[in-house]
Amino acid sequence: MWDNYTRQYICVKIAHILYNLKMNENTEIATDKPVNLKVITALQHVLKPLIKLALTQGINYQMLSELLKTVFVQVAEEDFRLVQREQTDSRISLLTGLHRKDVHRLRHQPEARLNQPTRINFGAQLVGLWVSDADFTDDNNKPKALPRLASAGGDISFERLVARVSKDIRARPVLDEWLRLGVVHIDENDSVCLNTEAFVPSADFEGKLFFFQQNIHDHAAAITHNLMNLSPSMLERCVYYDGLTISAINELKALAEQQGMLALKAINAKAIELQSACLNLPEANQRFTYALYFYHAEEDKESKAIDARQEDN
């Protein structure tokens, strides 16, 4: 039967089988059918809000199908290489189930990335400093209302806050943009007041889209890391209850926001301190994401079915 296959194909196929056996040994990923069905069920549930977003933006199945092909090739290319072996179109085709012509085309097309807008990165740093630095917070650790001009507030002013983050960006255009987006407002004393302690402007779709991309990716990556039994495990915890009224939900939501912001601000302050200490160190090549969210919805049959399956296990 092997007469119809080239020696290269057979070698790649054998290498693929041995590699998968080694992956299963290292990560304890079960390959029996029931486990795979559970993973498929979990993926189906996870994909629902993403498909909802896609449909609201006019992204149909054909467009997503092509996108999935691209991602399958990227992941196979980056995360499933054999040691000291060149990754080939044939091997990626075997891994992903995609036709080799599609693999070749996708491997050689320019990758489209959603780059982090400079203003979002700058804005996040600015808010982070405002809500954590002792110069810009009051006795209750709340962000101060800052005099708009340095001539009025000196070092404790919006102009100096901007200058602390970047000497190349002037405070006036930042203020104008933040006023437009509703991030800040000007009070009767001509001071700039922060409207939110999290830099996710309600009117800025591009900004929210970037944080959507980063937060969902990193949360999913942490869970995947743990499901593959990789070491050390990553922090990923949640609290889940049902059978609650909307009044109880609102009370819990307020508590979660209050306590969660304390944790976020503490991590933010320490990160600013450590980032300064790590400046110019050659080994300072790591990043992290620490996130907080609170989701609530009316119970549905699907959620109860998931709960029932978990209880059976």
Residues 130, 96, single domain; the answer is: no
> What count of other Cβ atoms lies within 10 Å of the Cβ of residue 158?
29
Is the Cβ–Cβ distance between 151 and 167 less than 8 Å? no
Q: Is residue 248 part of a domain?
A: yes
Residues 185, 213, single domain; the answer is: no
Confidence of residue 84 (pLDDT cuts 50, 70, 90): confident
Sheet with 146-147, side-by-side order of all strands = 146-147, 191-194, 184-186
Q: Is the pTM of this model over 0.75?
A: no
Pairwise CA distance, residues 304 & 84, whole Å = 48
Q: pLDDT value at position 116?
A: 53
pLDDT in tens, 154-210: 999 999 999 988 888 899 998 998 888 788 999 999 999 998 655 555 556 777 787
Residues 228, 307, single domain; the answer is: yes
Residues 74, 131, single domain; the answer is: no
Task: Check pLDDT > 60 for residue 15.
Answer: no
pLDDT in tens, 211-257: 888 889 999 999 999 999 999 999 999 999 999 999 999 999 999 99
Q: Which residue has the higher pLDDT, 279 or 307?
A: 279
User: Strands 191-194, 146-147: parallel, antiparallel or unpaired by DSSP?
Assistant: antiparallel
Pairwise CA distance, residues 103 & 90, whole Å = 8
Pairwise CA distance, residues 306 & 228, whole Å = 21
- Segment among 26-30, 33-37, 106-110, 215-219 with least mean pLDDT: 26-30
Amino acid at 13: K
Mean pLDDT of the chain: 81
Pairwise CA distance, residues 9 & 11, whole Å = 5
Residues 212, 288, single domain; the answer is: yes
Closest CA to 117 of 218, 203, 192, 205: 205
193 by DSSP, 3-state: which? strand
Count the domains in the chain.
Answer: 3
Q: Is residue 151 part of a domain?
A: yes
With left for phi above 0 and alpha for psi between -120 and 50, is residue 126 left, alpha or beta? alpha
Q: Is residue 199 part of a domain?
A: no
Q: Is residue 113 part of a domain?
A: no
Q: How many CA atoms lie within 13 A of 120 on its CB side?
A: 16
Q: pLDDT value at position 16?
A: 47
Pairwise CA distance, residues 220 & 120, whole Å = 22
Q: Is residue 225 part of a domain?
A: yes
Q: What are phi and psi of 300, to 5 degrees?
A: -135, 170
As a whole number, mean pLDDT of residues 148-153 equals 92
Residues 102, 10, single domain; the answer is: yes
Task: Check pLDDT > 90 for residue 4.
Answer: no
Q: pLDDT value at position 105?
A: 92
261 by DSSP, 3-state: which? helix
**Which structural domain, as residue segments, surrounds residue 65?**
2-107
How big is the chain by its Cα radius of gyration, in Å? 25
Q: pLDDT value at position 193?
A: 94
pLDDT in tens, 88-119: 999 999 999 999 999 999 998 876 554 555 55
Residues 239, 307, single domain; the answer is: yes
Pairwise CA distance, residues 128 & 268, whole Å = 6
User: Pick from 54, 72, 107: which residue ends a domain?
Assistant: 107
Task: Check pLDDT > 50 for residue 24.
Answer: no
Task: Check pLDDT > 90 for residue 262.
Answer: no
Cα dihedral 211/213/215/221 (nearest 10): -160
Q: Which residue has the higher pLDDT, 207 or 290?
A: 290
Q: pLDDT value at position 43?
A: 92
Q: pLDDT value at position 115?
A: 54
Q: Is residue 112 part of a domain?
A: no
Residues 152, 222, single domain; the answer is: no
Pairwise CA distance, residues 92 & 69, whole Å = 11
Q: Which residue has the higher pLDDT, 54 or 309?
A: 54
The beta-strand segments (E) located in the chain are 146-147, 184-186, 191-194
Amino acid at 144: K
Q: Is residue 200 part of a domain?
A: no
Both structure tokens of 116: 């982090």
The Cα-based distances of 118 to 201, 210, 238 in angstroms read 15, 11, 32
User: Pick from 39, 72, 107: which residue ends a domain?
Assistant: 107
Q: Is residue 166 part of a domain?
A: yes
Residues 166, 78, single domain; the answer is: no
> What count of other Cβ atoms lies within 10 Å of the Cβ of residue 211?
17
User: Strands 146-147, 184-186: parallel, antiparallel or unpaired by DSSP?
Assistant: unpaired
User: Pick from 194, 214, 239: which residue ends a domain?
Assistant: 194
Residues 58, 128, single domain; the answer is: no
Residues 156, 132, single domain; the answer is: yes
Residues 181, 220, single domain; the answer is: no
